[in-house]
């Protein structure tokens, strides 16, 4: 049976189901829509939208905190990271445009709650300290997710586009780690502020990777080689990098290394999931909740969702209206 992804003309050649399956199994890269099934195209677009939205929304989230940088040099570093994030978003959205989506609508016409990015970015970053913890935690989570995709991805243009992204994410991580170490070494009130930021941002980063494997209903992304590791495997990778570093610089985190079936694993010291007060930036580790509760919180979005989306959508519409008047 011939498979015709949306947007292709009837007289254009497309892969058969057998040809597509063989490409996936052999490890060959897919380079165009003609080689896809509709299901693969749908999953690829979903992956790209999550990536593009996450990179895009990090820009206003980081900017609002970068304005509180302790020096002009620190502020310029923050701006450089924001510039990188916007470029990373453009890569994902540009590929989506090549796959038949309208980039302008994706960015500037969607309802704020329809954006697909981790809930952590909906909680305001109110200080330079919180920004550098975000670099150390959130960018590490992004590095794990995108590093896995970069390694395993079956779609050639996305795999190659991530070459630039992965190099620049290293810069973001270095900024976070360098500043976290510096603040911790300073001690006193500065270290106390760092610990408070870690206390609420660590569990949000653990959430970043989504539902546990035993709650996830399908593994289409794994089958199509759009990722190589499961949610829990990615979460373990993140914990294996973040927990030892925090211990090294003297910052407490609620997790520890354990041995299970002869293998080292990282275990959390609190119920997962549990109650989170976004306005107060406070977790209640004595109040376990269900994943249905977490999904409801994610769908409702957090305190800064509408504000951050409005920052770039309103500027675009103002720019377009001004341009029309001048024309």
Q: Is 80 exceeded by the pLDDT of residue 323?
A: no
What's the full length of the chain, in residues? 327
The predicted-structure confidence for 187-218, as pLDDT tens digits, reads as follows 999 999 999 999 999 999 999 999 999 987 66
Strands 263-268 and 274-277: unpaired
The predicted-structure confidence for 259-310, as pLDDT tens digits, reads as follows 988 888 999 999 999 999 999 999 999 999 999 999 999 999 988 888 888 8
**CB contact burial 88-110 (16+ within 10 A = b; e otherwise):** bbbbbbebbeebebebeebbbee
The predicted-structure confidence for 22-45, as pLDDT tens digits, reads as follows 999 999 999 999 899 999 999 999
Specify the pTM.
Answer: 0.89
Using CA atoms, how far residue 312 sits from 165, 277, 318, in Å, is 22, 27, 10
- Token readout for 168 is 């620049």
- For residue 266, what are the β-bridge partners? 257
β strands within the chain, DSSP E: 255-260, 263-268, 274-277, 282-288
d(CA 267, CA 254): 9
The predicted-structure confidence for 245-271, as pLDDT tens digits, reads as follows 999 999 999 999 999 888 889 999 999
The yes/no answer on whether domain 37-107+125-326 falls in CATH 3.40.50.920 is: no
């Amino acid at each position: 049976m011939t498979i015709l992804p949306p947007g292709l003309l009837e007289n254009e050649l497309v892969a058969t189901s057998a040809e597509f399956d063989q490409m996936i199994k052999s490890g060959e890269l897919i380079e165009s829509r003609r080689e896809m099934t509709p299901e693969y195209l749908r999953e690829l677009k979903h992956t790209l939208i999550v990536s593009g939205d996450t990179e895009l929304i990090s820009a206003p989230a980081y900017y609002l905190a970068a304005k509180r940088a302790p020096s002009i040099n620190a502020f310029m570093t923050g701006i450089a990271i924001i510039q990188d994030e916007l470029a990373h978003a453009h890569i994902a959205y540009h590929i989506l445009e090549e796959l038949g989506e309208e980039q302008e609508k994706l960015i500037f016409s969607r309802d704020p709650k329809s954006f697909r990015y981790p809930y952590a970015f909906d909680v305001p970053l109110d200080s330079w300290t919180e920004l550098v913890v975000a670099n150390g935690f959130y960018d590490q989570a992004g590095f794990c997710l995108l590093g896995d995709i970069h390694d395993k991805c079956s779609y050639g243009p996305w795999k190659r586009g991530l070459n630039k992204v992965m190099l620049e994410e290293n810069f973001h991580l270095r900024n976070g780690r360098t500043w976290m170490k510096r603040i911790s070494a300073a001690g006193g009130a500065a270290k106390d502020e760092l610990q408070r930021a870690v206390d609420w941002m660590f569990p949000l980063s653990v959430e970043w990777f989504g539902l546990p494997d035993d709650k996830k209903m399908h593994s289409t992304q794994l089958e199509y080689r759009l990722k190589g590791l499961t949610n829990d495997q990615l979460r373990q990778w993140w914990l294996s990098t973040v927990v030892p570093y925090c211990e090294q610089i003297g910052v407490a985190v609620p997790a520890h290394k354990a041995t299970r079936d002869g293998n080292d694993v990282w275990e959390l010291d609190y119920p997962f999931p549990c109650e989170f007060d976004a306005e107060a930036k406070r977790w209640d580790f004595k109040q376990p909740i269900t994943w249905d509760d977490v999904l409801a919180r994610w769908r409702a979005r957090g305190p800064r969702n509408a504000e951050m989306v409005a920052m770039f959508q309103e500027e675009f519409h103002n720019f377009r209206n001004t341009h029309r008047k001048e024309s």
